[in-house]
Chain A
């Protein structure tokens, strides 16, 4: 072009000269135009042109590549239309797909926008150069925004390397991530291989996945916010319903429980996002500065310190737990409210529906509701009242799901556990609300047990003492007979001889058998309490795992009935003493038959075996006394009764559960709920309740000496005892302390004595003596 321009100028000057030849008379000024200045491109001109032409080339190649990629993609997608035969089509797809990956097609496609970015920045640089040469003011006002844009671009390139969750990335961050991961900059704990530390994948998307799944405290927070987000965004009732159905599944396992607890604990004014990224950037900045030694030793916030502090468990206020459970601030109230409303609604709608076991929907719904309610009550400290009367529902679902049977074989454990815990809490609050019928019946039964002449003689325990004497007598006879009759005596004559020697005992038993008929009234009274309680609790008590209800024996009464009761005697809270005596004494009837000459070696063998199974310790006499305590306890809201029930069921649940430590949170929550001070309507607790509690921890026949409960629940019980017996005195406490002190090892054997029970007894001893000391 320049050439043409110069050529034009030359031609024009030539024409001008020719014209001056043709017409010389015209004295025209014949000064030739000044020569065209020689063109010397400056360095900046060359620079600018280099930048701009490169920019042009880059953008055009990006366009070319883009067109090509589109074409490849189109070809690739043709695979699916080309063949109708699925095998051919599938094979071709796999072939082409592997080619695609092998030849890094995704990388090429990723590079295309990168080319464009390069082109753009080349253009920018050229532009800045141009305008700076022409005018400083315009130049600066152009360069500054361009510089800022460049910085932003550089930030987006490196942001995902430093903060892998950053959404800001571009084509070059992928490359830099790849390089960084080749140098193994970032590592994570792998979940699948026992937490070994591995470098994060060199593919950025895969790396983000690995980091998102890494088991950390932050993930817990994210899970928690996820759930809260979900709760916030549920709008329709149908959605809420399906949400409810999914909740129970998410509670199985420790992680789920902890996350939910956090959901409930967190106040809703907290934002639904994690810690602000700006803070993170600031943290990174601060630590960089510190590393560079610029901030010296003044840095106060050290991330390592913070994590150590977080790892340390918060000190648990062991003894105050029971004092202020009701006043604990309930946070996350909205979540609880949002969840409890539909639960209550669902419970309400389904409660009045006719119960039919085949109704699968009803079953599933109710199960979900029960589990959700348990979790809400346990983890969120929600009030059971919010859900209305759930006792009937619990009874119904317990009946359908056969909770007792499942618990025996260890089936369906998560549900059984939650159902049991919720039932216990429901029973506690239900007893507390004052159901006059039960307490009236309990009163009647207690009167009978105490003996009618209580008013006349002012002697407590007369009835019980009478029964105890009878029990002792019967047990004594049984013991004599047991030691006399051994398996070795297989011959009829030998046995007969022995029996003749012990005829006194047999007739004694026969006598007791007749006496036992007098106890029928008492049996009926106790049976009434038991069955009435079961009826108003809608059958929950007969469904609770590990708890049995006593019943009248059908005639003829067998000794085996006594033996089977004897073996499971822990599981009965109510005992019909008359029935027990009668079944015990039925031994005498068998022996009398033998004596009279009806010899049956098989029956004899079985009888001696049963006799052996009864054990040698007389544990009968305490039973009636405890029964009296239970009845008295039930008259005043049944605190001790529920605690006993709790430990009975817990024993059953733990013995079938695979791991003893699992679900500890659920049990602890349940225990705290049923023993919370809200549920003591009078302080100090009635004597009977105190007696029940003391018996549980300090006696030969207690549930604690027959089963080793895990430490977490023992600690809870000790804390409860501390609260209950603070400042209490009385012979019953003295007795318990004495019993405990007998269990303690002599001081010279303390070191070698490591039985777990002994530790528990020692702790109980300390708690009780300390409580006693406080009163004086």
Chain B
């Protein structure tokens, strides 16, 4: 059987849309917040490690490192 709803069913689907929207929005808001949290975390992490890279001390005994994290012991004099 092939056919379709006619325009009189619009009320039902409007309701569906409304319900779905409120339902999805609630879920997606939490999802978005989670992702924002992740991004903020990673950014600070990355900035930190990039600084470490920039300040890397090439003559230090572990100069083999390219990536280093600054640490009181290793900070440049």
Chain A residues in the interface with B (C-beta under 8 A): 1-2, 5, 39, 41, 45, 49, 52-53, 56, 59-60, 62-63, 66-67, 69-70, 73, 76-77, 80, 86-87, 89-90, 93-94, 97, 109, 112-113, 116, 119, 127, 130-131, 134-135, 138
Contact = CB atoms under 8 A, between A and B. Distances in A.
A49 B38 contact: no
Given A53-B67, A93-B20, A127-B69, A87 B39 contact: no
List 9 A-B pairs, minimum CB-CB distance, nearest first: A63-B42, A86-B13, A90-B13, A66-B35, A66-B38, A86-B14, A90-B16, A87-B13, A59-B42
Given A66-B38, A69-B35, A127-B69, A76 B28 contact: yes
B49 A56 contact: yes
B64 A2 contact: yes
Contacts of B66: 1
Classify the interface of chain B: helix, strand, loop or mixed: helix
B73 A134 contact: yes
Nearest to B56: A1
Contacts, number: 99
Interface of B: 5, 9-10, 13-14, 16-17, 20-21, 24-25, 28, 31-32, 34-39, 41-43, 45-46, 49, 58, 62-67, 69, 71, 73
Nearest to B20: A93
A351 B24 CA distance: 50
Given A93-B24, A97-B24, 14 more contacts: A2-B63, A5-B58, A62-B42, A63-B38, A66-B38, A67-B35, A69-B31, A69-B35, A73-B32, A80-B21, A86-B16, A87-B13, A90-B13, A116-B41
Given A56-B67, A86-B14, A113-B34, A73 B28 contact: yes
25 contacts: A1-B63, A41-B64, A45-B65, A56-B49, A60-B46, A63-B38, A63-B42, A66-B36, A66-B38, A66-B39, A73-B28, A73-B32, A73-B35, A76-B24, A77-B24, A80-B24, A86-B10, A87-B5, A87-B9, A89-B17, A90-B17, A93-B20, A94-B20, A130-B71, A138-B73
A63 B71 CA distance: 25
A131 B66 CA distance: 18
A531 to B, nearest CB: 60
Given A86-B13, A86-B17, A52 B28 contact: no
B10 A63 contact: no
B26 to A, nearest CB: 12
Contacts of A62: 38, 42
A357 B66 CA distance: 89
B58 to A, nearest CB: 6
B32 A70 contact: yes
B52 to A, nearest CB: 10
Contacts of A69: 31, 35
Nearest to A105: B31
B17 A77 contact: no
A112 B34 contact: yes
A93 B71 CA distance: 51
A131 B20 contact: no
